[in-house]
Amino acid sequence: MRKPIVQVDTLLKADKGRAAGQFAVPPIQYDGAGYPFAVDSSGDRIAICNDANLLLLDLKRRSKRLLRAPLGDQTEFWGVAFAPQNHLYVFLSDYTVALLNLQGNLLKRFGGGFGERADQFAGAPPYRLAVRRDGSLLIHEDERLYLYSPAGEPLSRLDGIVGFAADKQGRIWCQGDAPRTPSEEVRRVEMPAALAEGSSAPNVSWYLFGADRWNSFFWAREWYIKEAQTLITEVARTRADGSLSWRVQLNGRGGVLRDLIPKSQVQWLTVDEAGRLYVLGWTFRGIKRAVGLYRVSVST
C-alpha cells in the first residue's frame, strides 16, 4: 500500500478552562463527560458538546455560537447528531434525548432517564449518536446500541456492540457479539484481517465508528506509550470488500496532526459522507489555544 497523502485543516482553536466555549481538559479537569461532536451531511456545520453548552460552527459563514442546554445549567450535553429539517438530537445528562432547532428551542423530549426499562438508558458518557435516512436515531454507549423511531419511541436495544456505523442505504452495521442472527436492517461486521497486518500495536483492537457514501468503514484504536506519556490514536479506512484503503496515526511522534505531536490526547472522532475525518484533541502543553478541531482528508 502506498503512503497516504494527508491534508489537515484547522477548524477551531480554543483555550482550556471552565468558561463557556472553553474546554475543561487536563490540567483544568481530569475526569469528565468528554466532548462528542457531530458533522452535518454537507460537512459545513459542526455541533460540539461543551458541558452545559453546545458550540455550533458554520464553516461556510465562518461563524460560531453557543446554545444553552434546554434544562439550564443543571444538565450537560453528552451526545449530539444532526437531524433532518435543520434539527439536532442531543443526549442530556439526565438520560433523556431532546430534539432542538438550531436556535436551541426545545421541540421534543423523550427517554425515561437512567435505568433498564425499554425507554431508559444506562452507562456513562460520552454517547455516540447517528441518524439514519428514515429519521430514526441510533444511540451508542459502551457496548449497548439503542434504536429509536423518528417519533421518539424505543424500538430495540442490542447488547455487546463495541462499534457501529449506518450506511447510506440505512443499514446498521454492528461490531461485536450481537446480533447473532443478522437481518436485512441490522448486519454484523468483523474487524477486517487487513487491519492486523503490519501493526505497530498488534494486541490493540480496532472499533468501528463510521461509514462514508461509498460504504467504506472507518476504524480507530488507542494505545499508551509510556515513554512519551501519550495515548496514541490511529484511524483506518477499509473498503466494502474488507481491503485496507489507508491507515494513519493522528497524534504523538509520527502523527499527522502537528499540533498534537507533543504529549496529547484525541477526545473524539467522526467522519462525514465524503470520507473526511474530524478530530477534536488537546495537548498537555499550555492553556491558550491548546485544544483543536481538525479536518483530515486522506487519499492514496
| In the predicted structure, residue 274 carries a pLDDT above the cut 70 | yes
Give residue-wise pLDDT tens across range 5-49: 999 999 999 999 999 899 999 999 888 889 999 999 889 999 999
CATH no., domain 5-299: 2.120.10.30
Q: What is the reported pLDDT for 106?
A: 92
DSSP string, 192-253: PGGGGTT-SSTTPPPEEEEE-TT--EEEEEEEEETTTTEEEEEEEEE-TTS-EEEEEE-SST
Question: Mean pLDDT throughout 165-176?
Answer: 92
| In the predicted structure, residue 249 carries a pLDDT above the cut 80 | yes
Give residue-wise pLDDT tens across range 59-114: 999 999 998 877 766 789 999 999 999 999 999 999 999 999 999 999 999 999 99
Question: Mean pLDDT throughout 247-270?
Answer: 95
Question: 106 in the Ramachandran plot: left (φ > 0), alpha (ψ -120 to 50) or beta?
Answer: beta
Q: What is the reported pLDDT for 155?
A: 92
135-143: which pairs have CB atoms within 8 A and are 24 or more residues apart? 135/83, 135/84, 137/81, 137/83, 137/89, 137/97, 138/164, 138/166, 138/172, 139/79, 139/91, 139/97, 140/164, 143/176
Identify the band that residue 173 occupies on the pLDDT scale cut at 50, 70 and 90. Answer: very high
Q: 119-133, 196-210, 216-230: lowest mean pLDDT where?
A: 196-210
What's the DSSP call for residue 16? B
Q: What is the reported pLDDT for 198?
A: 67
Q: What is the reported pLDDT for 124?
A: 92
Q: What is the reported pLDDT for 180?
A: 60
| In the predicted structure, residue 178 carries a pLDDT above the cut 70 | no
Question: Mean pLDDT throughout 193-201?
Answer: 78
CA distances from 28 to 23, 107, 286, 299 (A): 8, 34, 11, 37
Q: What is the reported pLDDT for 70?
A: 77
Q: What is the reported pLDDT for 202?
A: 66
Q: What is the reported pLDDT for 209?
A: 97
Stronger pLDDT, 198 or 58, i.e. the higher one: 58
Q: 11-20, 76-85, 177-186, 270-279: lowest mean pLDDT where?
A: 177-186
| In the predicted structure, residue 197 carries a pLDDT above the cut 90 | no
The structural domains of the chain, with segments of one domain joined by +, span: 5-299
Identify the band that residue 200 occupies on the pLDDT scale cut at 50, 70 and 90. Answer: low
Give residue-wise pLDDT tens across range 118-154: 899 999 999 999 999 899 999 999 899 999 999 999 9
| In the predicted structure, residue 183 carries a pLDDT above the cut 80 | no
**pTM for the full model?**
0.94
**Residue pair 136/148 in contact by the 8 Å Cβ criterion:** yes
Mean per-residue pLDDT of the chain:
92
Identify the band that residue 1 occupies on the pLDDT scale cut at 50, 70 and 90. Answer: low
Beta bridge partners of 248: 235
| In the predicted structure, residue 204 carries a pLDDT above the cut 90 | no
Between CA 153 and CA 147 the distance in angstroms is 9
